[in-house]
């Protein structure tokens, strides 16, 4: 990318044609710069294939693991009878946790 600058005497005001040409050059340089940046980003994304795959694998594993833990815990609590010490402990623990969150 190159930027060209010209100097002109102070008493010579630019004409409309010079202003238009200057704006056209600036727009062309901006378009070229954007195209070069887009190409560089596309190449960078293409080069990051293994990183992206590892990131996706990590996310999927964490999601499946957390879903499995939560689903299993909910399933087990649904199997337990409602009126026993374990369920009372779960209920009291959940109430204490909600009180702690609400007081913070």
Q: The pTM is what? A: 0.36
Calculate helix-pair angle for 16-47, 49-79, nearest 10 degrees. 60
pLDDT digits over 68-78, tens only?
888 888 887 77
Confidence of residue 37 (pLDDT cuts 50, 70, 90): confident
Highest mean pLDDT of the ranges 7-16, 31-40, 69-78? 69-78
The contacts of residue 3 (CB under 8 Å, 6+ apart) are 29
């Amino acid at each position: 990318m190159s930027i060209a600058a010209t100097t002109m005497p102070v008493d010579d005001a630019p004409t409309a044609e010079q202003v238009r040409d200057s704006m056209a050059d600036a727009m062309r340089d901006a378009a070229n710069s954007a195209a070069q940046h887009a190409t560089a980003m596309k190449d960078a994304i293409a080069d990051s294939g293994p990183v992206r795959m590892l990131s996706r694998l990590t996310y999927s594993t964490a999601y499946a693991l957390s879903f499995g833990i939560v689903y299993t815990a909910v399933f087990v609590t649904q199997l337990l009878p409602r009126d026993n010490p374990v369920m009372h402990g779960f209920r009291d623990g959940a109430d204490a946790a909600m009180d702690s969150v609400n007081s913070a």
